[in-house]
A and B are shown apart, each in its own frame.
Chain A
Amino acid sequence: MTNESLGVPVEILLVEDNPGDVRLTKEALKECKIRNHLNVVVDGIEAMDYLHGRGAHKDARRPDLILLDLNLPKMDGREVLAKVKSDEKLHKIPVVILTSSEAERDIAKSYDLHANCYITKPIDLHQFLTVVEEIQEFWLTIVRLPREDK
């Protein structure tokens, strides 16, 4: 059962090192219809700790959706993506790449590493808000997510 179907807020993991973007995403998610709980980590190593329930993130809840920036300190987003998608316990979690890069090679590489989808952060605020809302709507209401084997 996903968190959502249990009436519990949806857990979203945002992996983003730019505090400005974190705040923007928070603002955007506030406007969303679905009850969601946003968890933020600021680098790739912290992301893996969170996903494996290690250290400071011992009690982290498994995310229903991961929003992942590509350019991160300590361990970059591409490595996080590769690790998540090659880990049996994690690979079913949808990973949405949310990055400012529109470089063809970044897009290709992300899909190569099995990102569920790739989104370039819109420059305009209104478009950004719309995109975050649509990510939510698509991945958390329209799409069916697999049952979690605990």
Chain B
Amino acid sequence: MSDAEDLRQSREKLALAMTAGKSGTFDWNIRRNVNVWSPEIEELYGVRPGELGGTFEAWEKLVIPEDLPEAKAAVEESLKTGELKGEWRVRRADDGSVRWLRARAKVFFDDDGRPTHLIGINVDITEQKEIREELARSNADLERFAYVASHDLQEPLRMVGSYVQLLAKRYRGKLDSDADEFIAYAVDGVKRMQQLINDLLLVSRVGTRGQPFREVAIDRALDEALENLAASVAESAATVTRDPLPTVHGDPAQIIQLLQNLLGNAIKFRTKEAPRIHVGARLADGMWLISVRDNGIGIDPKFHDRLFVIFQRLHSASEYPGTGIGLAVCKKIVERHGGKIWVESEAGKGSTFLFTLPRETGS
């Protein structure tokens, strides 16, 4: 194949890629104020080929007035820093519809350090923006629902619980022992229901109350989780060892909660032996794979897929307390971080819980 043919094919592939990715390139000659637009970027703005004036001002007219100050500021900033990053809305020239565009560009300087070219790309991100807005609305709805549910569900429950207890108090010794037993079951039922409602709220809040991600040192998160579990650690004489632990990109409070739930389980589901727990970490497929290994009672493989389902318990409440949301919360937290969680375990041979978390950006 000839070089010319090579080049033509290369150009064509690039054009296809740009169109498919709803992107387009531009090359603005700063000194001469000549803005050269690729056909793909013309398509993004809805301008006919060659219709655009090819100047900075021509572009300005397409940006919606509300976003123009920010867009211009970003361009001016880039002439100093060398890099353009920004998002703003434009009004398409063909049908007047508003689209969100993301801009990324690089500034080229001459030998005297003056900017000569701004070359970069615009990407239409309207769909992503809309999805994100819808997600935010959906989360707000969920949060509202959870608040109302907790409030409105708890009220009648409190009435039942309080009055049954009042009956017990008022008529103690005046009713037979059956009555006492019936009342005890009723009160217990109420207490369990209240706990379930609280737990449902906890699970729903993983999504609706998540904090933005930032740098989280697993070492310190582990320390905090252990501090929160200090009483059970002491009571069970548990020892916790650890490998060197990494820094991940995530929600600090949720990561503490995740570790706390896993460690709490490791301590709770112990044998007669004192719990020995080890927290390890290694890189796997570009993410951090963290493990929490214990010497507890272990879990038969046939139950492994039930483990992370909300309210699924493998033991009766009299054997081990809890409503069965600890692992459901862990799963939601890990999934919110883009990771996976699973277990390796056999009955009587301890358990290892493994989960992945994203690396700290830039690490």
Q: Are A101 and B151 CB-contacts (below 8 A) given A20-B159, A124-B161?
A: yes
Question: Which residue of chain B lies nearest to A24 when distances are taken between CB atoms in the complex?
Answer: B162
Closest CB-CB distance, A140 to chain B, in whole Å? Answer: 23
B194 within 8 A of A: yes
- In the bound assembly, the distance between CA atoms of A31 and B166 in angstroms comes to 13
Q: Which residues of A lie under 8 Å from residue B151 when comparing CB positions?
A: 100-101
Q: Which residues of B lie under 8 Å from residue A100 when comparing CB positions?
A: 151, 154-155, 158
- In the bound assembly, the distance between CA atoms of A147 and B194 in angstroms comes to 43
**Once the chains bind, are A125 and B166 in contact (CB under 8 Å)?**
yes
Q: How large is the interface on A (under 10, 10 to 19, 20 to 34, 35 or more residues)?
A: 10 to 19
Question: Which residue of chain B lies nearest to A27 when distances are taken between CB atoms in the complex?
Answer: B166
A139 within 8 A of B: no
Q: Which residues of A lie under 8 Å from residue B56 when comparing CB positions?
A: none
Q: Which residues of A lie under 8 Å from residue B159 when comparing CB positions?
A: 18, 20-21
**Once the chains bind, are B169 and A125 in contact (CB under 8 Å)?**
yes
What 1/0 mask marks residues of chain A from 2 to 31 whose CB sits below 8 Å from any chain B CB?
000000000000000010110010010000
Closest CB-CB distance, A128 to chain B, in whole Å? Answer: 6
Name B163's contact: one of A18, A20, A121, A123 (CB within 8 Å): A20
Question: Which residue of chain A lies nearest to B147 when distances are taken between CB atoms in the complex?
Answer: A103
Name A125's contact: one of B147, B157, B165, B194 (CB within 8 Å): B165
What 1/0 mask marks residues of chain B from 164 to 182 whose CB sits below 8 Å from any chain A CB?
0110010000000000000
Q: Which residues of B lie under 8 Å from residue A125 when comparing CB positions?
A: 161-163, 165-166, 169
Q: Which residues of B lie under 8 Å from residue A124 when comparing CB positions?
A: 161-162, 165
A150 within 8 A of B: no
Q: Which residues of A lie under 8 Å from residue B161 when comparing CB positions?
A: 123-125
Q: Which residues in window 82-113 of A have CB below 8 A to B?
A: 100-101, 103
What 1/0 mask marks residues of chain A from 114 to 150 whose CB sits below 8 Å from any chain B CB?
0000000101111010000000000000000000000
Q: Which residues of A lie under 8 Å from residue B154 when comparing CB positions?
A: 100, 123
What 1/0 mask marks residues of chain B from 128 to 161 whose CB sits below 8 Å from any chain A CB?
0000000000000000000100010011011101
- In the bound assembly, the distance between CA atoms of A30 and B161 in angstroms comes to 20
**Once the chains bind, are B194 and A123 in contact (CB under 8 Å)?**
yes
Name B166's contact: one of A24, A101, A121 (CB within 8 Å): A24
Q: Which residues of B lie under 8 Å from residue A101 when comparing CB positions?
A: 151
Q: Which residues of B lie under 8 Å from residue A128 when comparing CB positions?
A: 162
A-B contact pairs, 14 of them (CB 8 A): A18-B159, A20-B159, A20-B162, A24-B162, A24-B163, A103-B147, A123-B157, A123-B158, A123-B162, A123-B194, A124-B161, A124-B162, A125-B162, A125-B165
Closest 8 CB pairs of A and B: A125-B165, A20-B159, A125-B162, A123-B158, A24-B162, A125-B166, A123-B194, A100-B155
Which residues of chain B have a CB within 8 Å of any CB of chain A?
147, 151, 154-155, 157-159, 161-163, 165-166, 169, 194
A18-B155, A24-B162, A123-B194 known, 5 other contacts, Cβ within 8 Å: A21-B159, A27-B166, A100-B155, A100-B158, A126-B165
